[in-house]
């Protein structure tokens, strides 16, 4: 019965189609659960595809990729972790939907002997310490990346340049870190911050909010957008206001739709975090842990500044 | 005759009340925020309310007939990505691609609307539940069609349409206004329109008088869907992208505009003039508060207060009217 359940679990991961002998070899491979946020998000969709490619290349583990319905479906993500504990996977690689709420199911997983790797958004260090659990973090430095992108704008404008910020969802860890990066750049290059507002990562909302900011502050020279979707909305608002070329924009994420805008100069820079690579690095870390190594601290993953010169 | 004319007076009074509230808001912001009453800002506000106005016009049909459509935001995303696929097909002339894209968007919108109307009235299921289901179907469908990627690179002539103006007024807003006018004519001057009010007021009475509400209900929801398809085209032309996660929560803004505009959530009472005023109130509020430098969080609280205030005032007026 136990083995049948196990086989069913493996089957769900899509390996039963292999010939019988290969399937037996497969059974001995460690199983890694990859828990992401919303697969409706291009970033996580890329991550999932990159992870599947990577596991196929490695060939020494089986991957169960899982995602939730929406970015804020914290309950749903907790249920996914609990499912993986029940299925007795060897390791869980997780991009937490919330940096605190996921800690108690992860502590349970750690107690069940499952190796853990935290990717994308950092889990709350103090809360982990309270439970005496240490989880390695594999991910980009959102703050540093945002600063890289913002520095391009700051250098183009020079000291005293008047800028506004479009923030992500209030309270979202990556949104907060990106704003911190923007603020650091503003302080270093002595820019003048006129206003900072959320557009909830959304193109249409960014378009509306930025048009209104521009009315209130017609002298805006630069815009720092927390993601590329919002940067696109800003660019369209600038065009509509007849100020094309007069206001400089930077974004974050490096999605495909931003590339033509960077090429034609409407967006100065964005930062690619290599979502596909991120999960692959997480899986590598998990396999090292399964192999007996103990990883701690922050394994920083590469980011790339994209400008007209690099595309 | 006299009862119908007193009903007209009451309706005009209700709309005048909402209009006064809008006017008061405009006067307040004009005094509090120096940039509010500039020509550029008025033009901005008109652009900003256009999508919600189109969605709310369609939503008015669903609410007047005693239903609701929670799927409009998600269906809008599905319309947009289908249109986006058609617009970016290889080897097609620009006009043909644009025509196909627009037709695709309208067809998807009307199809989803007709399905909403038919399923809810044929089986007597509350449209609240059916459209909640449709919300998930359409959102999932939009993600499936695009594999969660953003579609871009539309023809230039299509994108140019999004920012075009006529005498300083955004073309998209003019279109929305014309559509609203047509909707108003349909609701007030046609048998179909009067039937919508009758069903919203008392579906059982309509049934007993020998009419079958099914077709009217299906058509009303199809109209809602048609407007969703139009809104999707406006969105794409304005922002030059189609993204499967666009429009999240747009249904709530559309419902808010309809309700602030004095249309009764239980159906049968209200008008598109009210909806126009309701959409304007939401747009002016969002714009004016940002110009005043009010923080995001306070802005959200104020919007919530205004929605509740509008409904409270409406129930107060209804009580007064009953004496």
State the SS3 of chain B.
CHHHHHHHHHHHHHHHHHHHHHHHHHHHHHHHCCCCCCHHHHHHHHHHHHHHHHHHHHHHHHHHCCCCCCCHHHHHHHHHHHHHHHHCCCCCCHHHHHHHHHHHHHHHHHHHHHHHHHHHHHCCCCHHHHHHHHHHHHHHHHHHHHCCCCECCCCHHHHHHHHCEECCEEHHHHHHHHHHHHHHHHHHHCHHHHHHHHHHHHHHHHHHCCCCHHHHHHHHHHHHHHHHHHHHHHHHHHHCCECCCCCCCHHHHHHHHHHHCCCCCCCCCCCHHHHHHHHHHHHHHHHHHHHCCCCHHHHHHHHHHHHHHHHHHHHHHHHHHHC
pLDDT for the residue numbered A174: 86
Interchain proximity A216–B243, CB inside 8 Å:
no
Question: Which among B38, B148, B287 has CB closest to A45?
Answer: B148
Nearest alpha-carbon partner for A222 in A157, A270, A173: A157
Contacts of A238 in chain B (CB under 8 A): none
- Is B51 within 8 Å of chain A by CB? yes
Q: A215–B38: do the CB atoms touch at under 8 Å?
A: yes
Q: Domain-by-domain residue ranges, chain B?
A: 37-248
Tell me if B277 sits within 8 A of B19, measured CB to CB: yes
Of A195, A240, A255, the CB nearest to B47: A240
Q: Are B259 and B250 in contact (CB under 8 A)?
A: no
- Residue-wise pLDDT tens digits, A247-298: 999 999 988 899 999 999 999 999 998 888 899 999 999 999 999 999 989 9
Is the CB of B235 inside 8 Å of chain A's CB atoms? Answer: yes
For residues B283 and B22, the answer to whether their CB atoms sit within 8 Å is no
Q: A75-78, long-range: CB within 8 Å, 24+ apart, which pairs?
A: A77/A35, A77/A37, A77/A102, A78/A102, A78/A105
CATH of A2-139+274-301, one of 2.160.20.60, 3.40.470.10, 3.40.50.2300, 3.40.190.290: 3.40.50.2300
Say what the pLDDT of residue A10 is. Answer: 43
B300 touches chain A (CB under 8 A): no
With a pLDDT cut of 70, the percent of chain B lying above it is: 96
pLDDT at B4: 59
Question: In angstroms, rounded to a whole number, what is the distance separating the alpha carbons of residues A264 and B152?
Answer: 15
Residue A214 neighbours by CB under 8 Å, 6+ apart = A220, A237, A238, A241, A243, A247
Chain A residue with CA closest to B292: the answer is A216
Average pLDDT, rounded, for chain B:
92
pLDDT greater than 80 at residue A34: yes
Q: How far apart are CA A117 and CA A112, in angstroms?
A: 15
CB nearest A215 (choices: B51, B235, B291): B291
Instruction: Collect all residues of chain A within an 8 Å Cβ-Cβ radius of residue B48.
Output: 208, 211-212
Nearest residue of chain A to residue B294 (CA atoms): A197
Q: How confident is the model at residue A5 (pLDDT cuts 50, 70, 90)?
A: very low
Answer with the residue of higher pLDDT: B8 or A121: A121
Distance from CA of B228 to the nearest CA of A (A): 16
In this predicted structure, what is the pLDDT of residue A6? 44
Task: Report residue B162's pLDDT band, with 50, 70 and 90 as the boundaries.
Answer: confident
Statement: residue B5 has pLDDT above 80: no
Helices (H), A112-172: 125-130, 142-157
Instruction: Write out chain A residues lying below 8 Å of B254, CB-based.
Output: none
* Residue A152 in this model has a pLDDT that exceeds 90: yes
Q: Cβ contact (<8 Å) for B246 and A204? A: yes
- Residue A7 above 80 pLDDT? no
Question: Residue A111 contacts by C-beta under 8 Å, 6 or more apart in sequence?
Answer: none
Cβ within 8 Å, pair B150-A218:
no
Q: What is the dihedral of CA B233, B237, B243, B245, to 10 degrees?
A: -60
Nearest CA-CA distance, residue A48 and chain B, Å: 12
Q: In this model, does residue A94 exceed pLDDT 90?
A: yes
Distance CA A162, CA A195 (A): 10
- Say yes or no: do domains A2-139+274-301 and A142-272 share a fold: yes
Residue A207 has pLDDT above 90, yes or no: yes
Determine the pLDDT at residue A24.
Answer: 52
How many Cα atoms within 13 Å fall on the side-chain side of residue A137?
16
Q: Is the dihedral of CA B53, B55, B61, B66 positive or negative?
A: negative
Q: How confident is the model at residue A23 (pLDDT cuts 50, 70, 90)?
A: low
B263-288 pLDDT, tens digit per residue, is: 988 899 999 999 999 999 999 999 99
Contacts made by residues B216-219, CB under 8 angstroms, sequence distance 24+: B216/B65, B216/B192, B217/B65, B217/B67, B217/B117, B217/B120, B217/B121, B218/B114, B218/B117, B218/B118, B218/B121, B219/B117, B219/B192
- List all residues of chain B from 3 to 42 with a beta carbon under 8 Å from chain A: 33, 35-36, 38, 40-41
- Chain B residues inside the 8 Å CB shell of A202: 246, 248
Confidence of residue A72 (pLDDT cuts 50, 70, 90): confident
Tell whether B147 is within 8 A of chain A (Cβ).
yes
Q: pLDDT at position A15, please?
A: 42
Right CATH number for A142-272 from 3.40.50.2300, 3.40.1190.20, 3.90.1640.30, 3.40.50.300? 3.40.50.2300
pLDDT band for A82, please (50, 70, 90 cuts).
Answer: very high
Top residue of B33, B38, B155, B238 to mutate, by most chain A CBs within 10 Å, is: B238
At B94, give phi and psi (nearest 5°). -55, -50
Is the interface score ipTM higher than 0.90?
Answer: no
Across the range A223-238, mean pLDDT stands at 96
| Residue owning tokens 């502590």 | A107
**Is A279 within 8 Å of A119 (Cβ atoms)?**
yes
Residue A26, judged by CB atoms within 10 A of its CB (0-12, 13-18, 19+), counts as: middle
Mean pLDDT of B198-202: 94
Q: What is the mean pLDDT of residues B142-157?
A: 90
Q: pLDDT tens-digit profile of B181-193?
A: 999 999 999 999 9
Question: What is the maximum span of chain B, computed from C-alpha positions, in angstroms?
Answer: 67
Tens-digit pLDDT profile for residues A234-260: 999 999 999 999 999 999 998 889 999
CA–CA min distance A259, chain B (Å): 11
B248 vs A contacts (CB less than 8 Å): 202
**Domain positions in chain A:** 2-139+274-301, 142-272
Which among B153, B238, B243 is the nearest to A236, CB-wise?
B238
pLDDT score, position A286: 96
Q: Which of B33, B42, B140, B150 to mutate to test the interface with A (most CBs of A within 10 A)?
A: B150
How confident is the model at residue A8, as a pLDDT? 44
From B77's Cα to the closest Cα of chain A, the distance in A is 12
Q: What is the mean pLDDT of chain A?
A: 89
Cross-chain Cβ contact B143/A229 below 8 Å? no
Q: Rounded to a whole number, what is the distance in Å from the CA of B243 to chain A's nearest CA?
A: 9
**Which residues in chain A are closer than 8 Å to B249, comparing Cβ atoms?**
none
pLDDT tens digits for range B57-104 = 999 999 999 999 999 999 999 999 999 999 999 888 999 999 999 999
Q: Do the chains contact at B41 and A215, CB–CB below 8 Å? A: yes
């Amino acid at each position: 019965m136990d083995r049948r359940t196990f086989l069913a679990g493996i089957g769900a991961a899509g390996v039963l189609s292999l010939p019988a002998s290969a399937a037996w070899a497969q059974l001995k491979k460690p199983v890694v659960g990859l828990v992401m946020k919303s697969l409706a998000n291009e970033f996580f969709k890329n991550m999932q595809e990159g992870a599947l490619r990577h596991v196929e290349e490695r060939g020494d583990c089986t991957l169960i990729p899982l995602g939730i319905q929406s970015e804020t479906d914290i309950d749903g993500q907790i249920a996914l972790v609990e499912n993986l504990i029940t299925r007795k996977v060897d390791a869980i690689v997780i991009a937490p939907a919330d940096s605190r709420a996921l800690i108690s199911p992860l502590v349970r997983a750690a107690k069940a002997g499952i190796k853990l790797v935290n990717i994308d958004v950092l889990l709350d260090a103090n809360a982990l310490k309270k439970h005496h659990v240490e989880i390695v973090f594999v991910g980009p430095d959102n703050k540093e990346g945002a600063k890289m992108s913002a520095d391009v704008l700051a250098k183009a404008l020079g000291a005293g340049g008047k800028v506004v910020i479009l923030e992500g969802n209030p309270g979202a860890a990556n949104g907060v870190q990106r704003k911190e990066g923007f603020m650091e750049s503003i302080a270093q290059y002595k820019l003048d911050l006129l206003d900072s507002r959320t557009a909830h990562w959304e193109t249409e909302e960014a378009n509306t909010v930025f048009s209104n900011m521009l009315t209130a502050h017609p002298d805006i020279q630069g815009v720092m957008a927390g993601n590329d979707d919002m940067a696109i909305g800003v660019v369209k608002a600038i065009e509509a206001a007849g100020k094309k070329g007069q206001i400089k924009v930077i974004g974050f994420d490096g999605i495909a739709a931003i590339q033509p805008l960077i090429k034609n100069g409407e967006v100065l820079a964005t930062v690619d975090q290599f979502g596909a690579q991120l999960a692959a690095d997480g899986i590598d870390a998990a396999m090292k842990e399964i192999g007996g190594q103990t990883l701690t601290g922050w394994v920083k993953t590469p980011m790339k500044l994209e400008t007209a010169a690099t595309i | 005759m006299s009862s119908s004319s007193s009903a007209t007076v009451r309706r005009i009074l209700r709309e005048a009340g909402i209009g006064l509230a809008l006017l008061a808001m405009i006067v307040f912001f004009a005094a509090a925020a120096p940039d509010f009453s500039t020509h550029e800002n008025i033009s901005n506000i008109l652009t900003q309310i256009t999508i919600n106005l189109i969605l709310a016009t369609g939503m008015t049909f669903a609410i007047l007939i005693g239903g609701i459509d929670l799927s409009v935001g998600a269906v809008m995303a599905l319309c947009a990505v289908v249109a986006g696929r058609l617009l970016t097909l290889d080897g097609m002339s620009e006009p043909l691609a644009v025509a196909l894209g627009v037709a695709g968007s309208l067809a998807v919108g009307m199809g989803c609307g007709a399905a909403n109307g038919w399923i809810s009235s044929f089986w007597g299921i509350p449209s609240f539940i059916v459209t909640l289901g449709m919300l998930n179907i359409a959102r999932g469908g939009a993600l499936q069609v695009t594999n969660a990627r953003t579609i871009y690179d539309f023809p230039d002539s299509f994108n140019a349409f999004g920012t075009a103006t006529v005498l300083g007024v955004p073309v998209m807003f003019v279109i929305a206004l014309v559509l609203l006018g047509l909707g108003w004519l349909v609701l007030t001057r046609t048998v179909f329109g009067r039937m919508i009010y009758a069903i919203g007021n008392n579906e059982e009475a309509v049934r007993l008088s020998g009419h079958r509400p099914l077709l009217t209900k299906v058509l009303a929801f199809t109209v809602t869907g048609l407007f969703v398809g139009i809104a999707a085209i406006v969105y794409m032309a304005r922002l030059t992208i189609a993204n499967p996660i666009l429009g999240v929560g747009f249904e709530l803004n559309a419902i808010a505009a309809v309700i602030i505009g004095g249309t009764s959530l239980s159906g049968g009472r209200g008008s598109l003039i009210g909806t126009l005023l309701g959409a304007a109130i939401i747009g002016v509020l969002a714009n004016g508060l940002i110009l005043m430098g009010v923080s995001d969080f306070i802005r959200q609280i104020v919007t919530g207060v205004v929605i509740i205030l509008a409904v409270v005032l409406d129930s107060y007026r209804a009580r007064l009217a009953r004496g």
